Amino acid sequence: MSLDRPLTRNVRADRSPTDMAAYEANGGYQGLKAAVGKLSPADCLEILKDSNLRGRGGAGFPTGMKWSFVPMGDKCSPGDKYLICNADEMEPGTFKDRLLLECDPHQLIEGMIVAAYTLQANVAYIFIRAEYFKAAALLREAIAACHQKNYLGNNILGSDYSLEIHIHASAGRYICGEETALISSLEGKRANPRAKPPFPQVSGLWGRPTIVNNVETLCNVHHIIERGADWFKSLGLTEDAGTKMYGVSGRVKRPGCWELPMGTPVREILEEYAGGMADGYSLKGFLPGGGSTDFLVGEHLDLAMDYETIGKAGSRMGTGTMIILDDKTCPVGFVKNLIEFFARESCGFCTPCRDGLPWSAQVLDDIQHGRGRDEDMDTLARQVKFIGAIGNTHCALAPGAMEPLQSAMKYFPEAFEQHIQGSCRHCSGGGH
């Protein structure tokens, strides 16, 4: 078994799913056996904290610290606690969780069991987007197989710990991926994000302590408990520990998704794994980790892809799946596509998001179609300032939407200017 690529060790070239027998034959459920009934939840949490695992959903918050806010033992009022897996992968340009779910469903289940044990949660949910039919079916099979082996259910492997995992297949809408919106949706409501505090760790699903973690984050948990924090830290090339599912989409030779050491340089991912730009195209810029991260450009290619380094360069690593802007694609059209996405996906609760994003989309549409005016650039700058400000909205959808816009205006101002003057070289004269 490959110890330096723990997340994809069961991923086959044809992407066929790994079943219980194959998963166990390759060392599966050893993390579960090492943790449940053997280590105390407090010990598991210490290992997790030491490992420096950070949330793989995009924000990069330290997982152990997030978990440490959940009240334990006597400090928790009587009643259930919940673990929720966020499998609502919908960030534009992000396609890593699908791979983990479809190729190795048991890995997620094992990670969830160990995570729920650490938190002493007896009920867990997998919130999976509606369109992932195949993954949902595989997860249902995996859960049933776990019940047969008593890896789930009452008194797991003779311990006093019990756990049920339920699958909730969603009904659409990007905003469900925001953790408090996800909780609202799981409660059967409209997926409006909630103001924080209170944080879900204290008052989440049905008002009870709740942890929401991304698929990739949870897939790491049992590996860390089984092999230790030092092993996990040794996998990364920089301060940020572990491996990362990196991806590249756009006009490159081999778009794809690969598990690589955390901190692998952008250039290596782009050139060695994605094969470089497709013939006839050159790199103009890239979004490092999904649609709501700031553009970086050629001068950033030698940076390490990790939370700290990409953060210092003025963007975010986000989901780690890069979207490439090539020299033949219009930056204005690119950004308009993203802003229209976020405008469509706004839950409509907060005014800057509900009314601001369609306004931005309208201004960009005017610019794209030759109706732009010089003052439109000031309008966009004002929108970036007010819609992008953290604290003007309950959640990060609107501020996230402003990230590609503000950085496109910074790195590609000529594209906007040419459009306003009616001479975009990408769009045959700027009219279309």
Partner 1 sequence: MTETTSMQLVPTLSEEELRLIDAEIAHVPYRSAVAIDALKIVQQHRGWVSDESIKAIASYLDMSADELDGIATFYNLIFRRPVGDKVILLCNSISCWIKGCDGLQQKITEQLGVQFGETTSDNRYTLLPVTCLGACDKAPVMMVGEELHEDVAESSIVRILGGSTEP
Question: According to CB under 8 A, which one of 17, 58, 92, 265 is a site residue for partner 1?
Answer: 92
Cβ nearer to partner 1, comparing 144 with 171: 171
Of residues 120-159, which lie at the interface with partner 1 (CB under 8 A)?
Answer: 123, 129-133
**Contact, 195 vs 394, CB < 8 A?**
yes
- Provide the CA 95 distance to its chain's centre, in angstroms: 9
Q: Tell whether residue 81 is a contact of partner 1 (CB under 8 A).
A: no
Of residues 342-401, which lie at the interface with partner 1 (CB under 8 A)?
Answer: 345, 347
Q: Tell whether residue 403 is a contact of partner 1 (CB under 8 A).
A: no
- Provide the CA 249 distance to its chain's centre, in angstroms: 16
Cβ nearer to partner 1, comparing 95 with 199: 95
Q: Tell whether residue 98 is a contact of partner 1 (CB under 8 A).
A: yes
* 162/113 Cα distance (integer angstroms): 10
Shortest Cβ 76–partner 1 spacing (Å): 17
Shortest Cβ 201–partner 1 spacing (Å): 19
Question: According to CB under 8 A, which one of 4, 43, 187, 230 is a site residue for partner 1?
Answer: 187
Per-residue burial over 313-346, b = 16 or more CB atoms within 10 Å of its CB, e = otherwise: bebbbbbbbbbbbbeebbbbbbbbebbbbbbebb
| Cis peptide preceding 17, ω within 30 of 0 | no
Side-chain-side CA neighbours of 251 within 13 Å: the count stands at 13
Question: According to CB under 8 A, which one of 9, 66, 81, 173 is a site residue for partner 1?
Answer: 173
* 360/343 Cα distance (integer angstroms): 9
x-or-dash pattern for partner 1, window 254-273, by CB under 8 A? -xxx----------------
* 76/229 Cα distance (integer angstroms): 27
User: How many residues are listed for the chain in this entry?
Assistant: 432
The residues, any chain, with a CB within 8 Å of residue 135's CB and separated by 6 or more, are 87, 98, 101, 102, 105, 128
Q: Tell whether residue 161 is a contact of partner 1 (CB under 8 A).
A: no
Shortest Cβ 230–partner 1 spacing (Å): 33
Q: Tell whether residue 422 is a contact of partner 1 (CB under 8 A).
A: no
Question: According to CB under 8 A, which one of 9, 54, 168, 244 is a site residue for partner 1?
Answer: 168
Where do contacts with partner 1 occur on this chain (CB under 8 A)?
A: 89-95, 97-98, 123, 129-133, 164, 166, 168-174, 185, 187-191, 206, 247-251, 255-257, 291, 321, 323-324, 326, 329, 333-334, 337-338, 341, 345, 347
